[in-house]
């Protein structure tokens, strides 16, 4: 049984509250490539909307591809070069591209930070990572305290890291209970983590300065990989879509970068 593309995108837009993030996110969230009307019966999911995931979605016979990182970040001036190489196969193969960036980071049930919190078995969760009136992360308390290396090992054993181990800047307490999470590139929320008096900030990647900032603030920082910390949201959306309609086929496309 097929689903109307407009209904599909409207339901995702509402669940992810895209309108609330419209003035906060550089990404053009929602349907980035696709017709006004179409029927879909197979949806692929991936972290990145790039040539490899598009090609694999086409090979799988998908009608739509849902990703976290899309191709339009505040507008497209020219459809040439790599932009053309990404857009052309979408149009040539009638493959719609749907994107959710920051809304999928911050969704407190389906989001990337919520997925990392699940892995760490955090309780007493609350929104974290302020961005204007919204949040892009989550914080919580470990049911059993972690040592810094134990926290890293827990993430390494679960996340799709592409064989790259998470890195720990162990400048904080030896016993970690309170944890803040901003996935992807979330080191800029270190000061908020310090103000919240957490023991560790878990993110994907960090700028060079975070080493000294964490050391001076006496806080642990775990860098678990941008890609690795952002697979949870699209996987949750895949499960949600499957619940909408058992006959709607779904495929997950895994392309770990190790970064």
Q: Pick out the residues of the known binding site for a divalent metal cation.
A: 68-69, 105, 226, 230
Nearest to 12 by CA among 137, 114, 99, 128: 99
Tell me the three-class secondary structure of 109-168, residue by residue: CCCHHHHHHHHCCEEEEEEEEEECCEEEEEEEEEEEEECHHHHHHHHHCCCCCCCCCCEE
Nearest to 167 by CA among 234, 256, 258, 232: 258
Q: What would the two tokens of residue 23 be? A: 């003035």
- Residues contributing to the annotated binding site: 68-69, 105, 226, 230
Nearest to 97 by CA among 137, 159, 48, 145: 48
**In the β-sheet with 42-48, what is the strand arrangement from edge to edge?**
30-33, 96-99, 64-69, 42-48, 249-252
Q: How long a stretch of residues is the chain? A: 259
Nearest to 248 by CA among 90, 99, 61: 61
Angle at 80 between CA 74 and CA 84, to 5 degrees: 85
The percent helix, strand, coil of the chain (3-state, each to 5) is 35, 25, 35
Question: In whole angstroms, what is the distance from residue 229 CA to residue 68 CA?
Answer: 12
């Amino acid at each position: 049984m097929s689903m109307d593309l407009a209904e599909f995108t409207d339901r995702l837009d509402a669940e992810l509250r895209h309108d609330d993030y419209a003035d906060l996110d550089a990404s053009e969230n929602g349907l980035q490539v696709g017709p006004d009307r179409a029927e879909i019966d197979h949806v692929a999911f991936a972290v990145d909307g790039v040539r490899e995931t598009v090609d694999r979605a086409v090979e799988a016979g998908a009608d739509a591809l849902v990703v976290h990182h899309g191709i339009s970040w505040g507008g497209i001036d020219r459809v040439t070069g790599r932009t053309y190489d990404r857009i052309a196969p979408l149009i040539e193969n009638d493959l719609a591209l749907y994107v959710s960036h920051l809304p999928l980071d911050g969704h407190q049930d389906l989001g990337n930070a919520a997925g990392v919190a699940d892995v760490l078995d955090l309780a007493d969760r609350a929104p974290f990572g302020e961005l204007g009136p919204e949040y892009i992360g989550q914080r919580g308390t470990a049911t059993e305290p972690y040592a810094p290396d134990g926290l890293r090992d827990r993430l390494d054993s679960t996340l799709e890291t592409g064989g790259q181990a998470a890195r720990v800047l162990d400048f904080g307490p030896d016993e970690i209970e309170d944890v803040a999470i901003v996935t992807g590139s979330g080191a800029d929320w270190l000061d908020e983590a310090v103000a919240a008096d957490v023991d560790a900030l878990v993110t994907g990647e960090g700028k060079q300065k975070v080493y000294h900032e964490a050391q001076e603030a006496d806080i642990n920082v775990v860098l678990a990989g941008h890609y690795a910390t952002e697979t949870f949201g699209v996987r949750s959306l895949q499960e949600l879509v499957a619940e909408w309609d058992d006959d709607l086929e779904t495929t997950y496309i895994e392309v770990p970068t190790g970064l």
